[in-house]
Each structure stands twice: as C-alpha cells, then as structure tokens.
Copies of this chain bind each other. A is one copy, B any other.
Amino acid sequence: MGNSIIFSLDLFGTAVFAISGVLIASRRRMDLFGALVLACVTAIGGGTIRDMALGASPVFWVENGLYLWVILVASLSSVLLLNNFPTPPRWLLPVADAIGMAVFMAIGADKAYQYGAPMIVAVTMGVITACGGGMIRDVLANQVPLVLQREVYATACIVGGLVWVAALYLEFSVTIATSACILTALVIRLVAIRYHLSLPKLAKNR
C-alpha cells in the first residue's frame, strides 16, 4: 500500500517535471518535438542516469511504458493549454515541482539502497534522480542549469537525504525513512520558495 502511494506520487512528479520541460521549450521557441524531448529528459533523465549507474537494466521507463504515456499526455495537454487558457495561479507549478522533487529524491535513494549501495552513494543517487533531469533540460536549452546557481533546491534534497540516512541508522523502517525524507525536502523547499532563500555564490577565484 505504501508502494502504491509512492508509485502514484512518482507518476505525479513525472507529469509535473514533463510540464516544466514544456514550459522551458516554449520559452526558447522550440517546436512540438522540442517540447516532447525537454518533457522527457526533465521527467526521466535523472532516473535514467541513476539506473544506468546502478546497473538496474533495463531502466525503469523501458520496463514500464506507463511513464512515457504519462509524459506524452502531460506534455500534449500543456502544449494545448499554453495558449488557450488563463495562466494558472503563480504558486501552483513551483509547489507541484517541489512535491515531485521531494518524491524523486526519496525514490532515488531507496532504489540505490535496495541495490546495496553505500549511504553516500544512495544520497547522491537521490540528488541525481531529483536534479539530473532538470539539469539536462537546461543544457539542451543552452543555459547554465538553474540548480547550480541559485535557490535552495538541491540543498533541500540533500538535507532530506541526510534525514533519510539518520532514520535508517536509527533503525526506523524504510517507509518511515522515506516519508521523513520527502517531508523534510518538501518543507525546506517550500520555505525557500516562500522567502526567496538562496545559497551564497562562491568566492571568485583569480
């Protein structure tokens, strides 16, 4: 039952990330195919790198065609809606994206854990799952990935991952560790959005 909740959240995150890909494609004046590609890489790019690195083969979206269908429906709908409807309230997409990010973080760490990876690798895999797709999307749109430059996004992931590690060391169940990870990452991200928090830039080397 816990699994089916996670799976639903996973598909929800997939749809939201796909929409964020379509929005970037539209900003860069790409065509419909560009929208589909950016939707795909944003939604499944991170998990694909994770599975390839773990040796989970085939990768998750090859095994289960549902992911690509969700992306297809979500991105075609959002392309159609782009012009024809009033814009949604400003808070809607960032909040939906934060949920997707937190869920992807937990799913990525859990999957690495199941494959017996060390903790530092599991946290890294969570971050790759949550942030990797958006980074590839930004690279294809020819811009420095947003996540490398500003906003408390990856930081929320990492703190969520540390909570997850702590919970497992304290011998809580995986379900509790996963929930704690998702909640932590989500709350930090929402607080950061609400108060426009960002990390300081690095000192400039000479």
Contact = CB atoms under 8 A, between A and B. Distances in A.
Contact of A29 (B52, B145, B201): B201
A31 B121 contact: no
B57 A55 contact: yes
Contacts of A150: 31
Nearest to A125: B62
Specify which of A22, A135, A142, A200 lies most central, judged by the most chain B CB atoms within 10 Å of its CB. A142
- Chain A interface: which size bin? 35 or more
A33 B143 contact: no
A174 interface: no
A204 B62 contact: no
Interface in A1-60: 22-23, 25-35, 37-38, 40, 48, 52-55, 57-59
Contact of A149 (B29, B52, B124): B29
A58 B112 CA distance: 10
Contact of A201 (B31, B121, B124, B135): B31
B57 A202 contact: no
A204 B29 CA distance: 7
A89 interface: no
A79 B141 CA distance: 28
Contact of A31 (B38, B198, B205): B198
Contacts of A37: 135, 147-148, 154
The 6 closest A-B pairs by CB, nearest first: A55-B57, A34-B148, A65-B118, A31-B199, A83-B203, A33-B154
Given A31-B148, A37-B147, A139-B142, 19 more contacts: A23-B205, A26-B205, A29-B201, A31-B149, A32-B202, A33-B153, A34-B202, A37-B135, A38-B148, A40-B124, A52-B52, A54-B62, A58-B115, A62-B115, A65-B117, A65-B121, A82-B203, A82-B205, A142-B143
